Amino acid sequence: MSLRTALTRPARYGALVAGALPVLTFPGAGLAALAWVALVPGLLLMRAAGTAREAAVRGWWFGAGFILTAMYWLIPSIGPALPLLAVVFGMLLAPVGVAVWWLLHGELTLRRSAAALVVVPAVWVSAEFARSWHALGGPWALLGASQWEHPAVLGLASVGGVWLVSWALVAVNTALTLLVLAREARLRVLAAATALVAVVSGPLAFAAQPAPATRGSASVALVQAGQTSDERARLEANVRITRSLAGRPVDLVVWGESSTTADLDRDGATLDRLAALSQSTGAQLLVGEDARKADGRISKDAVLVDSSGIVARYRKIRLVPFGEYIPLRPLLGWIAGVSSAAGENRAPGRSVHLLPVVGQGGRPLPVGALICFESAFPDMSRTASRQGAELIVYQSATSTFQSTWAPAQHASLGAIRAAETGRPVVQAALTGESVAYDAQGRRLARLTTGESGAVTVRLSPADPAARTWYVRLGDWVPLTALAVTAAAGAAAALPRLRERRRPSAPAAPPSSDLPSARV
């Protein structure tokens, strides 16, 4: 098939548009309920393909439409690389198209329909898991994250992470697709029962889980500087807002990512100012340092400061592709010349570790401090929880994307991480959104992108020994999805392999034109 012919197939453009529908379920548009049905048009287009190859192409185009829409706000950072990104990541959904076509095309049977209700969600979650690998960009816009406002649905996240929420959503979409296609009553009953189980499983898990185990209480102040003209003005705004907290019962003051560009290991004057702030407020400060270090490299650190100086620091591990480093810079470095992509690579940290915060009463409050993009990664907050974190703190800076859906989507991830870990989660951003969630993902406080100042929230820190099922078991859902996907792939390939290995029938002996002998 020629390229011209491939680009003139209306169904493929339909798949591209259908891929944009699920993006409406995330903050920005905020149509979370749509997530339970948003995949149906795309699944129907994949099922209607004439061949498995065409179904794969439609799945690919669906994925490309999803990535283009979900990450449109990256255009200032990566410019013309976004369509390339969409083409690469869209390919991960090609197997979804094959699975849908293989199991739902033609005359439906009970066996294939039942398999579709398991295999299609598994292939989808496998694609999300593959896309979540940091080297490929990271887990932004996972379908399960669309349910951040619904703690009852997030009961699934405490069992299997955001992956289990995605599985439930895709299972319902697959069941509804089957309901549209099925003619037999038994197939409709199967589809309806599957959808019902997937919908109620979250609330049931939420109702069955015990109340989060807590240890005392803590007051945390989130400082949001707002829009500032330069780095110096940003620091001054943070200092001014923090001074206003003096006299309040605050255990920890959190600034946003990159709230100071001073190397606090070498800039004694700035460090003295921060130590004095800690002294005046009676609380430790967790500031964001974005500075060139003594080795000449730039790093992003969360630095814990008290009245005596630096207590501890954490260096950002998962850097933002193109924003903080360019993958394969010798090959892709040209992108920095046509966009605002990173001019040089930041230096990453090595490991997740807790910061030894101490509250005003002298009570230890071990904190899992992570930075910005790291809120998208379930494994990082889970690691901090296993280490005994009582509170998860994120520092963020999304000033480049203020007029887009990105800040709200970023802030919503805290609810997912809270539900997964059973820990309160807070996020302090330079220009918004700054948010706080309780241990079940319910939002307690918020500063929007148009605000500046401080918000103080009273939290119930988790018992360090508390473990949700997700913290205990880890990524069992995506690993199960990969196993199901592999088994389905083997089942689909096995008949073809047997056909190839089957010996060909022996050739018939050549007929003779000679007359038979007569006696």
Q: How much is the average pLDDT of 250-258?
A: 97
Q: What is this structure's pTM?
A: 0.92
Closest of 415, 387, 469, 416 to residue 210, by C-alpha:
469
Q: Between helices 81-90 and 52-70, what is the axis angle to 10°? A: 140
Tens digits of residue pLDDT in 419-476? 999 999 999 999 989 999 999 999 999 999 989 999 999 999 999 999 999 999 999 9
Give the DSSP letter of residue 404.
Answer: S
Residue 282 reports pLDDT greater than 50: yes
Distant-in-sequence, close-in-space partners of 214: CB < 8 Å, separation ≥ 6: 439, 460, 461, 462, 463
Q: Is 252 exposed, middle or buried (0-12, 13-18, 19+ CB in 10 A)?
A: buried
Task: Please state the three-class secondary structure of 264-289 as a single string.
Answer: CCCCHHHHHHHHHHHHHHCCEEEEEE
Long-range CB contacts (within 8 A, 24+) of 325-328: 327/135
**The residue to which tokens 């706080």 are assigned:** 436
SS (H, E, C) 141-206: CCHHHHHCCCCCHHHCHHHHHHHHHHHHHHHHHHHHHHHHHCCCHHHHHHHHHHHHHHHHHHHHHH
Between the alpha carbon of residue 354 and those of residues 52, 282, 461, the distances in Å are 49, 21, 14
CA distance 6 to 94: 16
Q: What is the pLDDT of residues 33-65, one digit of tens each?
A: 999 999 999 999 999 999 999 999 999 999 999
Task: Report d(CA 102, CA 124) in Å as an integer.
Answer: 15
Task: Encode pLDDT of 300-317 as tens digits.
Answer: 999 999 999 999 999 999
